[in-house]
Amino acid sequence: MKEKKIALITGATSGIGEACARRFAKGGYDLILTGRNEERLMAVRKSAETEGAEVLSLLYDVRDREACIEAVSSLKGKWQQVDVLVNNAGLALGLEKEYLGDMDEWETMIDTNIKGLLTMTRLVVPGMVERNHGHVINIGSVAGDAAYANGNVYCATKAAVKAVTDGLRIDLADTAVRVTNIKPGLVETNFSVTRFRGDKGKADKVYEGIQPLVGDDIADVVFYAASAPEHVQIAEVLVLATHQASGSVIHRS
C-alpha cells in the first residue's frame, strides 16, 4: 500500500487554514497542523481524523523562530517527508491611515505574514529539494496586487508574499519542487473580526451587500493546485467573489 502524502498547514485553527485541513484530509493526505490556540487545534485535528487522516498537531506561533525550529526538528520518520507546505498563517490588524497606525500591530503583521512564512519555508524546503519533490503553497491576497485605502501595511505584507513566492519559484526552477501563490479576495472568516480587534459588528459590514467567498472555496483551489500533474505548476491564482473586481472595486446590492 502506497504511503499517504503529508501536508503541513500553518494557521490551521480557523478560516482558510481549517478549511484546508478538512479538504486535504478528505483528499487522502495525512496532516501536520500548526496553530496557537490549543483548543481549536485539537478540534480541527479531531475533525480531520474523522476523515481518515493521521494528524500531528504542533502548538506554536510562527512569529517565534526558535519555536518553529523546535517544532520542525521534532518531526520524526515519515513526518519529515512533507509533500505540501501550506503557508497560511497570517492576519490583518487595524484599518487606519498609515500615519495613524499602531506600530505594534505593524510588527505583528510583518512577523507573521512575512517572517513566519520565510521561517517555515527555510525549515521545510531543503528537505523537498533533497528529495526533488514537494510543493509550497503560500496564501497571499488580492491586497498584494495593489494597496487599498487604509490597508497600507497589510497590503505591503501581502505584496511581500508575492515577491517571496516568485523568488522561491525562480530559485527552485532547477528542481521538481513547485511553488504557488493563492490570492483570495473577500473571504468571510474570522479575518475581519481579528482586523477590527473583536468588533463583530464592524467585521460584518465588510461583507454586507455581497456574497463573499468562504474558507472552503479557497481550500478547493489550494487542493486543486496541489493535485495538478507533476509537470504542471500553477504559479498564481487570484480568487474573487463574483461581484468583486479588485481589492477596492466591489459591487454591493
Considering the candidates 148, 154, 207, 224, report the single residue annotated as catalytic: 154
What does the buried/exposed string (b/e) look like for 191-227 if buried means 16 or more CB atoms within 10 Å of the residue's CB?
bbbebbeeeeeebeebbeebebbebebbbebbbebbe
Cell readout for 253 is 446590492
Question: What does the angle CA 45 – CA 181 – CA 3 come to, to the nearest 5 degrees?
Answer: 45
Is 224 known to be catalytic? Answer: no
Task: Determine phi and psi for 248, rounding to 5 degrees.
Answer: -120, -5
State the greatest distance between any 2 C-alpha atoms of the chain, in Å, as a whole number: 59
Helices in 92-151 by DSSP H: which ranges?
103-109, 117-131
Which residues are identified as catalytic?
A: 154
